[in-house]
Amino acid sequence: MEFTREGAALVCRRLGETLVLEPWGRNALRVRAAMAEAVEAEPWALTETPETSESEIRIGEEGASVSCGSLRAEVNAFGVLSFFRGEKLLLREFYRNYGGTISRESRCLKLVSREWKGIVGGSEHSLTVRFESREGEKLYGMGQYQQPGLDLKGCVLELAHRNSQITVPFLLSSLGYGFLWNNPAVGEARFAKNRTEWTAAATRKMDYWITAGESPREILENYTGVTGRAPAFPEELLGLWQCKLRYRTQEEVLSVARKYKAEGIPLDMIIIDYFHWTVQGDWKFDPRYWPDPGAMIDELHRMGVKVMVSVWPSVDRRSENFAPLWERGLLMRTERGAAQTYDYQGDCVQIDLFRKESREYLWEVCRRNYRDLGVDGFWLDNAEPDLGVYDFDHYRYAKGSALSCTALYPQLFSRAFREHMGPEAVNLIRCCWAGSQKYGNVVWSGDVPSTFEAFRDQLTAGLNMGLAGIPWWTTDVGGFMTDDVKDPYFRRLLIRWFQFSVFSPVLRMHGDRGPHDIPPLDDRDRGGGYLPTGQPNELWSYGEEVYAILRTWLERRLRLRPYLAELYREASLTGAPLMRPMFFEFPEDRRCWELEDQYMLGSRYLVAPVLEAEAEAREVYLPAGRWKLLSSGETYEGGRTYRFPAPLEEMPVLERADV
């Protein structure tokens, strides 16, 4: 192994591999490698230029080290890396080859820490990076995977996006470090008992970043310092957002907003879902059912209601924009056979947002047809992008094979809008990647079923998204897919989900409500008239008993506005999420590292969602201190578990009484 110092970086070369370790932020190092003389400088998620801790490089006969603040990396003669905070080992690469491990113990498995395999006919490699597993370690973050377990130890996670699955490859460890897999390639993360493995199906370089910290709060602050933080969130959007599948006409939208006004219920945002357009890729209102959208928007604004419209990245061959996009090479390509990439309600191809020209084209059409009419925000749906088949080796962008870069697509989708809309703009999006938090996205958890099992998964999703640096998060109240709105099971679910959403970053009504027995508006094969619409989904749509409970909880949400505004400001300043696992606020309490079904909203409120259909009570652990139950005003001493009543109209929420 040859060691050299190049500027602030330690560079190591062996067997054709170049390994670069560079101080990068507070108590943090960036680690890159390639089977080449030099490593590409693509930043991927590491877009910020943070203040970097004091660093030092030492080169000796048996190895070398580089430190940045409290984090130190040591490289041995075989190029194997170990990371320390002081004398505490945080993470070590896995190596079982002729020549031994770090301790020189001889083994013949021929497993190396960084395994490169050339892709026949291409310039890229498949890559596997291995680390030793640590007994007792707990792992969190990584974005959104539909599963109930918060601790990811033992999980296998696909590094690719799908509807309701969002890979944000930042990991927070209970051992006191954070780890970013800074690579948008399709791959896999395996957090097994015997070792941890990260794979990339096609890449030109290894790139990861690691930081050390005394607490989860400090680790997340370090991470968002190098990837960016969410901007300021408008206080006028902290109340209720209203949506359903689908408002088909401008009169339907206006009638809903007028009734909210008549009922005396403040409405912050109304969202117009898909196929208000003619065909996918036209990105404009269908004039048959939206004859004067400008007048509609003006009336909504006079009522104090913001307006958001759905935009998909798919372009139908019948669209007026297909030919110019196709001729200019601004659409995705396929590697084999037909050019189609998406087949819902038309023969479609996604726009290639890796091209700046594509992003400018998309924005210009949406500016002309929406923004100039007064539209306040965009619902960037199908942002993964949604594909007819998830065969990533079949698709290609201007940047390269989808295998090498597709995870970055939703971030580029959001940037196409955010970079033109100004600092106050807020858009809703179904997917994101590391660093997306700085582009003004409210990320929602996708088209999840209307079941208590799915509801439980959303709690985990929201918490791990926050730990991956994405503080603006929401979910469809009641889930997306409902068979029968009159089913008592669904109505209980809706109430429990609404209670949870009141104490989440964004409160948003949405869903496809069955039965689908509402006749279509017409039988044309384009425009939104022929497509089905779900049952009404407003607060009053589920009977007087449900309406009364939802109104009571909405009033609690409105009283939370000043506190929520404080939390959004904190997220913007430090990267702290609004929804926090218990250990985020109480890292010294080992019990809090075990809790997965309750959480903190900021530092003040402990929230215990009711996650079972027939439950009328639930157990809640209170950390040390004094706590006040909001429903009764009674106070309780912490350090123990209580069983609180939870009738349908109540969810246990406790406020810290000693802060």
Residue 525 CB-density burial (10 A; 0-12 exposed, 13-18 middle, 19+ buried): exposed
- Residue type (1 letter), 24: W
Residue 128 CB-density burial (10 A; 0-12 exposed, 13-18 middle, 19+ buried): buried
- Tell me the C-alpha to C-alpha distance, in Å, between residue 373 and each of 104, 132, 446, 584: 69, 56, 28, 43
Q: Pick the catalytic residue from 316, 376, 381, 597.
A: 381
Beta bridge partners of 57: 66
- Tell me the C-alpha to C-alpha distance, in Å, between residue 627 and each of 483, 487, 591, 624: 40, 36, 17, 9
| Cα maximum dimension of the chain | 79
The strands making up 605-607's β-sheet, listed across from edge to edge, are: 579-581, 599-601, 605-607, 653-656, 626-629, 635-637
Q: Pick the catalytic residue from 316, 447, 512, 538.
A: 447
The length of the chain, given as a count of residues: 659
CA–CA separation, 243 and 253 (whole Å): 9
Cα distance between the two ends of the chain: 55
- Residue type (1 letter), 242: Q
Mention every residue, 6+ apart, whose C-beta is less than 8 A from residue 615: 646
Closest CA to 271 of 317, 306, 302: 306
Q: Pick the catalytic residue from 93, 286, 316, 384.
A: 384
Q: Name the DSSP letter for residue 93.
A: B
> Active site includes 447?
yes
Looking up tokens 């009283």, which residue turns up? Answer: 559
Q: How many CA atoms lie within 13 A of 601 on its CB side?
A: 26
CA–CA separation, 579 and 221 (whole Å): 15
Residue 506's φ and ψ, nearest 5 degrees, are -130, 130
User: Which tokens belong to 141?
Assistant: 């973050």
Three-class SS of residue 513? strand
User: Which tokens belong to 572?
Assistant: 């913007």
CA–CA separation, 413 and 431 (whole Å): 10
User: Which tokens belong to 658?
Assistant: 């000693």
| Type and span of the H or E element at 439 | none
User: Which tokens belong to 323?
Assistant: 């030919």
> Active site includes 391?
no
User: Which tokens belong to 36?
Assistant: 């080449």
Mention every residue, 6+ apart, whose C-beta is less than 8 A from residue 38: 18
CA-CA-CA-CA torsion for 599, 574, 32, 39, nearest 10 degrees? 140
Q: How many CB atoms lie within 10 A of CB 594?
A: 13
Chain centroid offset of residue 512 CA: 22
Residues 233 and 423 sit within 8 Å (Cβ to Cβ): no
> Active site includes 484?
no
Give the catalytic positions in this structure.
Answer: 381, 384, 447
